[in-house]
Amino acid sequence: MKNVLVAGGGIGGTIVANRIAQKLGEEISRGEVTVSVFDRSEHHYYQPGFLLVSMGVMEPKETSLPEREVLDRRVKLYTGDKGTITKINVGDRQLITADGVIHRYDVLVLATGSHIQMDEVPGFSQGAETFFSLDGARKMLRAVQSFTGGDIVVDVALLPHKCPVAPLEITLMLDDYFRKKGIRDKVNIHYCYPIQGVFGIPNVNKMMLGLFESRGINIHSQFTLASVDAANKKIVSKEGEELRYDMLVAIPPHKGAQVIADSGLGDRRNWVPTDKYTLRLKDHDDVYVMGDTTDIPISKAGSTADYESYTVSHNVAVDIKGDGSKKTYPGSVFCYIATGMDQATYIKFDYNNPPTPPTPSQIHWWGKLAYNKLYWSIHARTLI
Amino acid sequence: MSSLKVYKSIDATSSSCSGPIGELSGAMNDALPSECVEIIVGDPATRDDVRVWAAKTGNRVVVDKEEQGKFRIIVEKVK
């Protein structure tokens, strides 16, 4: 019996487990292979939907389903203490879970994700809204709907973070929301970014600078957040700039999972050293890493994990069968970018071909909504 | 050269949402004073961006070499 273990039941872990089960269906039915997913939670969250929840476009209930309903029936699921991984021992090919059980693997996939660190910036938790959690998105929606005027500051604290285009999206959606509400003249929107410009890819940055200028959005960059004074509603940058706010929207720092640190596998931010082509843990041929978990400088996004899952699932199947040629990951990423409450553009790129975002349109907005709606029925269940 | 303590090495030759400077700034945030971050970039304009960023943030470029059409830059965290 060979064991394929998947650490993490988010977008990456779920999709890759389903693809592996499809590729190893015969071996599983003959009792030669097991595929298992480990996650603390019984629920699967579609985190890209939180942005739309915070602006009232999606309902909170649309962003989660029981993980068991999403996983292929041939995949075993461990949750609660049984699914909470406390240690990964790559030397002995073991996972240890909170119930004390040792799980041995032949192939391991690390998909433990990235996690927000609101407390890393003093005052963030007390003074800011954030749509990077479901509860935060719900709370932010109430703040947006009751906002009658003043200064809104969108601050990106540290790069890289999950869903890199989300700060652009929330800024442009807020702008459009208040225009449509007829009070944009009473709202000042500020965008603070820790490097020069508003985004890291040059031609996307150029397009967004033009959009921000035409919409009257104030850009503060380079603005490296130092602290938040929640009592006096102001933020201060390491460069010495001070900004007052009536609503602060936080894009908090992110880290890899704590179990990565506890297992000595990552850097100081718990990103796992990963070969950008093979998606293997460096120096280990029986451990794959995918999604937000890696240290690959690309994009911590659901689509990245989805694209990577084709490579990882294929190569896991080859490893298990001991036959076939391996695939490499070309660096594919696809992200819709909302540019308002009814328009969007998108970026599609890989390691060798930078993106060329099309002119924003309502067509791409509907594409974004359709992608979100179809996630549960098409993408998570890997029908394509 | 051998005495440099390189905390992290970044291959920034491909497209990245955070961009080379975003990846560098993130790694430098986690580096300790006197530690270094190595970054490989694919064009001279990005190399210049790294140098400007290092100067602006009070950090120090200690290695800047062109190797096989790419640029290897090592930035030391000063403060």
| A34 phi and psi angles, rounded to 5 deg | -120, 145
Cβ contact (<8 Å) for A269 and B30? yes
Give the mean pLDDT of A46-53.
97
Give the A:B interface size as CB pairs under 8 Å.
81
Q: A2-113+257-330 maps to which CATH number?
A: 3.50.50.60
| Complex-level ipTM beyond the 0.90 threshold | yes
Q: List C-alpha distances in Å: A83 to A5, A9, A38, A39, B14.
A: 11, 10, 4, 5, 36
> What is the model's pLDDT at position B79?
77
Which CATH number is B46's domain given? Answer: 3.30.110.40
- Same fold: A2-113+257-330 with A118-253: yes
Helix residue ranges, H only, chain A = 11-23, 25-29, 49-54, 67-70, 124-127, 134-146, 166-181, 202-215, 258-262, 302-321, 362-374
Q: DSSP class of residue A233?
A: T
Q: Which candidate from A160, A267, A355 shows the least CB-CB separation from B15? A: A355
Q: Which two tokens stand for residue A290?
A: 């995918």
The number of distinct structural domains making up chain B is: 1
Cβ contact (<8 Å) for A349 and B15? yes
Confidence class for position A377, pLDDT limits 50, 70, 90: confident
| Tens digit of each residue's pLDDT (9 = 90 or more) over A79-137 | 999 999 999 999 999 999 999 999 999 999 999 999 999 999 999 999 999 999 999 99
Q: What is the domain range of residue B28?
A: 5-76
Residues in A whose CB is inside 8 Å of some CB of B read 158-160, 164-165, 194-196, 199-202, 205, 222, 224, 267-269, 276, 297-301, 331, 333, 349-355
> What is the model's pLDDT at position A208?
98
Domain limits of chain A?
Answer: 2-113+257-330, 118-253
Residue A379 has pLDDT above 90, yes or no: no
Give the mean pLDDT of A231-260.
97
Q: A118-253 maps to which CATH number?
A: 3.50.50.60
| Tens digit of each residue's pLDDT (9 = 90 or more) over A138-171 | 999 999 999 999 999 999 999 999 999 999 999 9
d(CA A207, CA A219): 14
Give the mean pLDDT of B16-32.
96
> What is the model's pLDDT at position B2?
58
Q: Is B55 on the interface with A (CB under 8 A)?
A: no
> What is the model's pLDDT at position A41?
98
CA distance A378 to chain B (A): 26
Give the mean pLDDT of A266-295.
97
